[in-house]
Structure 1
Amino acid sequence: MRLENRTISTPGASSFWQREWKALWRSKTAYLFIAPLVITVCCILLYPIFKAALMSFQYWYIAKPIGGHPFVGLKNYIEVVRSDYFFKSLGITGIYLAVTVVARFLLGLGTALLLNKKFKGRSFARVLIIVPWAMSEVVACLIFVLMYDYQYGIINHLLMSVNLIDTPISFLGDANYALDAAMLVNVWKGFPFVAIMLLAGLQSIPDELYEAATVDGASGWDKFWHVTLPTLKPVSLVVFLLLVVWTIRDFAIVYVLTNGGPSRATEIFTIFVYRSGFEYYQFGEAAAGGMILLLFSLVFTFIYMKVTKAGDTA
């Protein structure tokens, strides 16, 4: 008796794939429209990330040898962590992150509260407040370089005119002032975004809540603490996390102002990675540092996505 091989068909699976194919075919026009975006993202974002991840496990020569770039495992990561400036750059980044994020948020909140009041010229003030945020980072930094100038800067001139200092200060050339000077530019450049976002949140608060608080005898501080802040909590969390993510990868402001100096006093982690690759030509270590930076960014991005998802489902 001969047994014949027979293919057992599964109608359920077959019908599933048929439905999926029909749905894909019906949506072919939509997929064609988003295809250029997907291809662009893959070319300029996903491929460089994949390439950097691969480089972080290789020893990279300036000129590619015949045998290619050998794999070295975790050696690049170990060398990055063992670097004399790794933890120093992390510490500077932590200070830079904490000060600028908190300062931008508080200054933006105060500005939003002022712009939410009714006064003459409020519309012009709302437009004017966007100027620092809309300005290019490099242009803003070059303006502040002139303002910080040791001999001709307006800041030294004003401080000396009111007798706060006796001699000019080299804000960008002195290790005691350089980081503070860079953080000031970061705060000035970034607080308008916070102000605009929180202003939108303030305008969404119903007037009935403030009227009810007034009837209950609440003071202005009570209204702010028990009505304004709780209502602004969702948008505040989103703005705060965005500031953290953006500040972690900040580079241009500090680089244009001080190039990480003097004496590496302002070398945040992004500049540390840049120098590893483009000054010391340790491209494998630079790629490893970039992956560490990407990991930190992904952690806060994940938190941001969880917060926004929770806000959508609330």
Structure 2
Amino acid sequence: MRNSSLLAFAFVAPAMLVLLLILGWPLVSAVILSFQDVRYVGTEPHWVGFANYIKVLSGSKLLSSIGLSLIWVVANAVLQTMLALAAALALNERFRGAKVARTWIILTWIVPTVVVVMIWRWLFSTSGGMINPLLIQMGIIDRPIGFFASPAGAFATLVFINSWRWFPFITLMLLAGMTRIPGDLYEAARIDGANAWKRFTRITWPLLKPTLGVLAVIGTLLSFNVFDIIWLLTAGGPANGTRTMPVLIYETAFKGYRLSEAATVSVIATILLLAFALITARALDREEN
């Protein structure tokens, strides 16, 4: 038994060493940088201790970005889960073209971010876009509106765009979970007279909970770290209404030329995400046990 454990460790050790170098060293470097005073690359570092943490934690920008990041994560989680669950339930049914639909739904996920941004910026444009004329024809609005003109509107629009891009990934994960549910359970439920809603609430939803738990962790980590879509569409505006923590880190480092403060915010973000992952992992273990 001991020899088997040593052999397993020998096979895993090279991969763990590479992972430690790729992830561990940048993290350690960021922690060291957060205790120094470095404004931009190439300047001589000076040790300042916890001065950066005191400055960052006492400012209003960090609390505001944390709040926006939490709202961003929750809003994306709710919308993505709703879209993915509806799509997965539809694709799980047997119909002509189901295999093609399951293949093509992943298209929005593999499209490059720059292309996604260009498409949606044009669609939501007040001059030449398609969304405003469509809403006017449907009678929902009487004149074009600027989706990125206000902080709340820009934030909601970004949540929609990001959810549109990422929900196919969650759909595929849910489909994989649904394929593991025995079909005999549904047949027995139909024989007992259970309708579609009862089959979903009594069979599908309970058996999908482990998959949803894992997706909650992965989705939260991915959504929290989204930077490209936000920066390319709003750059954190208007009026800092979409300045989440990744955007704040970028602004502090490359627009404010304060690398040490940016590293401090990065360390704080890492601690928050690590705490969330540990708490969620323990909660999932308790449910399984």
**Matched residue type, 2:275:** V
2:25 aligns to what?
47
Q: TM-score, normalised by structure 2?
A: 0.90
Task: Answer yes or no: is 1:158 the counterpart of 2:134.
Answer: yes
2:210 aligns to what?
234
**Matched residue type, 1:259:** A
Equivalences for residues 1-314 of structure 1 within 5 A: 30=11, 35=14, 37=15, 40-62=18-40, 64=42, 68-303=44-279, 305-306=281-282
Give the unaligned 5+ runs of structure 1: 1-18
**Residues in 1 aligned to 2:276 and 2:209: alpha-carbon distance in whole angstroms:** 18
Query: Per the alignment, do residues 119 and 49 of structure 1 end up closer, same or farther by CA in structure 2, a change over 3 Å counting?
Result: same
- Does the 8 Å contact 1:237/1:307 carry over to 2? no
**Residues in 1 aligned to 2:23 and 2:32: alpha-carbon distance in whole angstroms:** 14
Deviations 1:148-193 (A, max 9, x none): 1121111122122333223222212332311011001111011111
**Matched residue type, 2:185:** L
The alpha-carbon deviation at position 304 of structure 1 amounts to 5.4
- Does the 8 Å contact 1:133/1:192 carry over to 2? yes
Bigger mean CA deviation after superposition, 111-120 or 296-305: 296-305
Q: Which fold has the larger relative contact order, with Cα–Cα distance below 8 Å and residues 6 or more apart in sequence?
A: 2
**Residues in 1 aligned to 2:77 and 2:122: alpha-carbon distance in whole angstroms:** 25
- Does the 8 Å contact 2:40/2:253 carry over to 1? no
Bigger mean CA deviation after superposition, 250-259 or 167-176: 167-176
**Residues in 1 aligned to 2:187 and 2:247: alpha-carbon distance in whole angstroms:** 51
Query: Per the alignment, do residues 272 and 29 of structure 1 end up closer, same or farther by CA in structure 2, a change over 3 Å counting?
Result: closer
**Matched residue type, 2:106:** I
Identity %: 32
**Matched residue type, 1:52:** A
**Matched residue type, 1:56:** S
| RMSD between superposed Cα atoms in Å | 2.6
Give the unaligned 5+ runs of structure 2: none
Query: Per the alignment, do residues 54 and 160 of structure 1 end up closer, same or farther by CA in structure 2, a change over 3 Å counting?
Result: same
Deviations 1:201-234 (A, max 9, x none): 1111112112222333322222111111111111
**Residues in 1 aligned to 2:75 and 2:113: alpha-carbon distance in whole angstroms:** 19
1:3 aligns to what?
none
Query: Per the alignment, do residues 28 and 289 of structure 1 end up closer, same or farther by CA in structure 2, a change over 3 Å counting?
Result: closer
